[in-house]
């Protein structure tokens, strides 16, 4: 029997991921880090993320990766399936970090006040 673990998904050089990881360390929250660049996007996790937060929130339309996509590719992202395909092909388009909390909750982005409710000091 294993203990539930918090998992942080993202890219290590992303400023928001750096802030999130520092916050978790400061709070004493044990976590695993999944590097999209080295380990890819876990296809089996995407449906759960989409169900938990919605594909619209997962696709970072303000990020550089999105802005560099051609208009046709951007326009083709119109539902969960098309968003999942893009996230698999272009991991940097995912808003970061995606966190699967030991409690079972999933969050996207960094929000210290919300995180305190989910996995803050134990």
pLDDT digits (tens, 9 = 90+) for 32-65: 999 999 999 999 999 999 999 999 999 999 999 9
Q: Where are the domains positioned within the chain?
A: 6-119
Q: What is the CATH number of domain 6-119?
A: 3.40.30.10
Is 14 catalytic? The answer is: yes
The overall pTM is greater than 0.85 = yes
pLDDT in tens, 63-83: 999 999 999 999 999 999 999
Could you give the CA distance from residue 104 to residue 100 in angstroms, rounded to a whole number? 7
- Catalytic pick from 14, 69, 102, 118? 14
Distance of CA 103 to the CA centre of its chain: 16
Q: How crowded is residue 60: how many other Cβ atoms within 10 Å of its Cβ? A: 18
């Amino acid at each position: 029997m294993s203990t539930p673990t918090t998992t942080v998904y993202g890219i290590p050089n992303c400023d928001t991921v750096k802030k999130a990881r520092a916050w978790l360390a400061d709070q004493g929250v044990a976590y695993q880090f999944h590097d999209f660049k080295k380990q890819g996007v876990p296809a089996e996790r995407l449906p759960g993320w989409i169900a938990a937060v919605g594909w619209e929130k997962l696709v970072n339309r303000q990020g550089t990766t999105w802005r560099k996509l051609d208009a046709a590719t951007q326009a083709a992202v119109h539902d969960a399936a098309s968003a999942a395909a893009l996230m698999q092909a272009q991991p940097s388009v995912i808003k970061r970090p995606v966190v699967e909390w030991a409690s079972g909750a999933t969050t996207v982005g960094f929000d210290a006040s919300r995180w305190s409710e989910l996995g803050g000091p134990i």
